[in-house]
Amino acid sequence: MLEEVRKRQEQALAARDKKAAVGDDVDLSKFESHVTQAPQNVATGAIPADVRQSVLSTGVMLDDLSQRSGTFVQIDNQPMHMAVAQDGIEVMATSEALAKYDWVKDYLWKAVKVDTDKFTAHTEINQADGYFMRALPGVKTTYPVQACLYMSRARAIQDIHNIVIAEEGSELHIITGCSSSGHEPGVHLGVSEFFIKKGAKVTFTMIHSWAPDVEVRPRTTAIIEQDGLFMSNFVIMRPVHSMQSNPTAYCMGENATARFNSVIVATLGSKIDVGSRAILSAKGAKTEMIARTISAGGEIISRGYIEASELETKGHLECRGLILGEHGSIHAIPEIKGNRAGVDLSHEAAVGKIAEEEVEYLMARGLTRDESTAAIIRGFLKVDIQGLPPMLNAEMQRAVKQSEADLF
Amino acid sequence: MEKAVLLEISNLTVTVDGREILHSLNLAVNPGETAVIFGPNGGGKTTLLMTIMGFPRYRVTGGSITFKGQDITNMPVDERARLGIGISFQRPPVVRGVKMHDMVLACLRRDDKEAEELVTALAEKSHMTNFLGRNINAGFSGGETKRSEMLQLLAQGPDLALLDEPESGVDLENISLIGQLINEVLGKTHPIRERSRSGLIISHTGHILDYVNARTGYVLCGGQIICDGDPHDMLNTIKAKGYQECVVCLKK
Ligand SMILES: Nc1ncnc2c1ncn2[C@@H]1O[C@H](COP(=O)(O)OP(=O)(O)OP(=O)(O)O)[C@@H](O)[C@H]1O
Ligand SMILES: [Mg+2]
């Protein structure tokens, strides 16, 4: 055991300068590393009012917990609040889970490799804390469980390590809101490992709301067993300096399914490199990736990668992008790889502008040019997310709407 | 006292993508008047309606359009719509992500309490209730597209309705519904005093004449109005002899 921990630390140290496979490098030495602090558990009311207010736009409601099956709050490198409101659902700090259950260590760094790059290495070296969420076998969350990851310090690095386990036949709906105060610059590093057991279902809705000088490098991997479902909904519409993320789903069990929906808006000065990866290695495994990207002056790289190596696997990747205004770029990189006969993979990508014909059609009904454009953009961003519970869908649309208010 | 004309088009010349389509065309529509426009394929009928509506692609290179006494030749399309001109498209575009419901609501241009009820009532009237949640025109059949266009016009309530082949592709059962909806758009189901709305209807078959009381007919051919008269008589001639007769007739 100790041997394993020591080995992992060694691996992390060896990888501390390892650049990420893709995306701009970040010189971490230019930022302050703060040690991870032991969890506290203050009442949500004790969390500063301006924080409670600002995280609302990321789907996190701290003033009214009646619509949540559980809540977790971490500010910088310290878990501040954790509570559950439903039997069979567990929400605690990862450090607490490691102390409480002997077996949690077997999940740590099992989905994400510790030496993936300097960012994963940093979270390990700094013994990052984060949330541990678990649904016991057959338990379904009535309301979503929410997590708030908030950066309050300037020039600091936030390290996060989350573990999510959906036991057999369970259903876990998670909203994670990631945001920061105006104190910039800063770096957010977040490792998230998902384990979706037989017949379990996890929806993971992540809404980002950073600031123009923040660098964001989440590292997310899901391991999905037979008949399991992982659904990731990723929203970023507010400015960020750079964001690079390429979550991977390993569909390891028969009929395991991964769905990714991304809504990305890059304003001037933002560089967003986001993709989704799915490895279909069991019979009947499926994936669907839908990305809607808008460059309002910023730079977007929209990646997608599907690899299939078993019979009856099916994958589809769709990336549509709109470039508004003079500047901005969208680079769609859809990739599909079939390793045998019997796979069914496809992709479609389109980058363009708003069709003038559509704008004029709405104008002919009396809408002004601006109203017409706004309606079309709003519609473009409104991904109809299949299988997302109506309430969660409403939450997501609400968040998109709030961010939209900044756009127009 | 004679009422002023609602729409007056004089010597209108229109160019599309560098090609002149309408040549010095003249036309007037009185308040409350409904006229039907016939004409061979490619004659310029759609071009005329699109130009009246004000789509920038249809470039006016000569002449003028006056609506409600105002020169609208260079007025943007949305201002014309708000001034009281509405159009139902021959082939409307699909607008992904914009729901029929939201579109009808936007056409109403009001957001009071009754607006929602109106949307529901109008959708019912045009047999489009099940389409309110769908993206506009996405996967609509030919007939459904026409009903959707009529529904939007009903909500918009223009003083001049430009209807581009409202009955083409519509089955026999639905054609009476379309006729009814047109009458409603034109205010013909209302008491006389409200019958001041006007319409220009493009038709190939003239079926719509069985439902809509139109007093005037025009033939638009080769970018010009070459004939006017009773629409029923016109239709009979065209049915019997084709548009060839119009051309010959013109030469007399
Ligand atoms: N972009 C364009 N470039 C060149 N010619 C064009 C363009 N658009 C339309 N036209 C031409 O203008 C002419 C008139 O077209 P219009 O659509 O107005 O005809 P129409 O009378 O409505 O015909 P239909 O009965 O088939 O609907 C046609 O010959 C058409 O090909
Ligand atoms: Mg036409």
If one residue of B46, B165, B203 were mutated to test the ligand 1 pocket, choosing by the most ligand atoms within 8 A of its CB, it would be B46
Q: Could you report the per-residue pLDDT of A15-33, keeping only the tens digit for each?
A: 999 999 999 999 999 999 9
Residues having C-beta closer than 5 Å to ion ligand 2 = B 45-46, 90
Q: Could you report the per-residue pLDDT of B15-43, keeping only the tens digit for each?
A: 999 999 999 999 999 999 999 999 999 99
The answer to whether residue B135 neighbours chain A at the CB level (below 8 Å) is: yes
Which residues, other chains included, contact B75 with Cβ-Cβ below 8 Å and sequence gap of 6+? B54, B83
Contact B96 A361 (CB under 8 A): no
Between A401 and B41, residue with greater pLDDT: B41
Q: Measure CB to CB from residue A364 to each of B77, B94, B109 and give the nearest one.
A: B77
| Residue in chain B nearest A377 by alpha carbon | B97
Residue B119 pLDDT > 90: yes
Task: Report how far ligand 1's centroid is from the alpha carbon of B44 (Å).
Answer: 6
Which residues, other chains included, contact B213 with Cβ-Cβ below 8 Å and sequence gap of 6+? B34, B188
> What pLDDT, on a 0 to 100 scale, did the predictor assign at position A197?
98
Chain B: closest CA distance from residue A352 (Å): 14
- C-alpha separations of A169 from A134, A166, A227, A237, A388 in Å: 12, 8, 9, 34, 17
| Residue in chain B nearest A359 by alpha carbon | B95
> What pLDDT, on a 0 to 100 scale, did the predictor assign at position B190?
56
pLDDT-wise least confident of A193-197, A359-363, B208-212:
B208-212
Q: How confident is the model at residue A379 (pLDDT cuts 50, 70, 90)?
A: confident
Q: How far apart are CA A158 and CA A147, in angstroms?
A: 15
Instruction: Give the type of residue at B202.
Output: I
Residue B250 pLDDT > 90: no
Instruction: Give the type of residue at A223.
Output: I
Q: Could you report the per-residue pLDDT of B180-236, keeping only the tens digit for each?
A: 999 999 987 655 555 579 999 999 988 889 999 898 999 999 999 998 999 999 988
Task: Over range A246-271, report the average pLDDT.
Answer: 96
Task: Over range A127-151, report the average pLDDT.
Answer: 97
Q: How far apart are CA A328 and CA A26, in angstroms?
A: 22
Number of Cα atoms under 13 Å in the Cβ half of residue B185: 33
> Angle between the B100-108 and B113-125 helix axes, to the nearest 10 degrees?
120
> What pLDDT, on a 0 to 100 scale, did the predictor assign at position B184?
93
State the ligand closest to the CA atom of B42. 1
What mean pLDDT is reported for chain A?
A: 93
Chain A: closest CA distance from residue B98 (Å): 5
Task: Give the DSSP letter of residue A297.
Answer: B
State the ligand closest to the CA atom of B40. 1
> What pLDDT, on a 0 to 100 scale, did the predictor assign at position B111?
79
pLDDT-wise least confident of A372-381, B33-42, B153-162:
A372-381
Chain A: closest CA distance from residue B161 (Å): 12
> What pLDDT, on a 0 to 100 scale, did the predictor assign at position A367?
96
Which domains, and CATH codes, for chain B? 7-91+159-251 (3.40.50.300)
Q: How far apart are CA B160 and CA B87, in angstroms?
A: 8
Which residues of chain A neighbour B95 with C-beta distances below 8 Å? Answer: 358, 361-362, 376, 379
Residue B96 pLDDT > 90: no
What DSSP string describes chain B?
-PPPPSEEEEEEEEEETTEEEEEEEEEEE-TT-EEEEE--TTSSHHHHHHHHHT-TTEEEEEEEEEETTEE-TT--HHHHHHHTEEEE-SSPPPEEEEEHHHHHHHHHT--SHHHHHHHHHHHHHTT-GGGTTSEETTT--HHHHHHHHHHHHHHH--SEEEEESTTTT--HHHHHHHHHHHHHHTTTTS-GGGTT-EEEEE-SS-GGGGTS---EEEEEETTEEEEEE-HHHHHHHHHHH-THHHHHHHH-
Question: Which residue's CA is the nearest one to ligand 1's atom 26?
Answer: B41
Q: How far apart are CA A159 and CA A114, in angstroms?
A: 13
Q: How far apart are CA A35 and CA A127, in angstroms?
A: 8
Tell me the three state secondary structure of residue A44. helix
> What pLDDT, on a 0 to 100 scale, did the predictor assign at position A382?
77
Question: Which residue's CA is the nearest one to ligand 1's atom 28?
Answer: B42
Q: Could you report the per-residue pLDDT of A86-95, keeping only the tens digit for each?
A: 999 999 999 9
Tell me the three state secondary structure of residue A79. strand
Helices (H), A15-116: 49-54, 94-100
Mutate to test the interface with A, among B85, B95, B108, B152 (most CBs of A within 10 A): B95
First to last CA, chain B: 36
Question: Which residue's CA is the nearest one to ligand 1's atom 9?
Answer: B16
Question: Are A119 and A154 within 8 A, CB to CB?
Answer: no
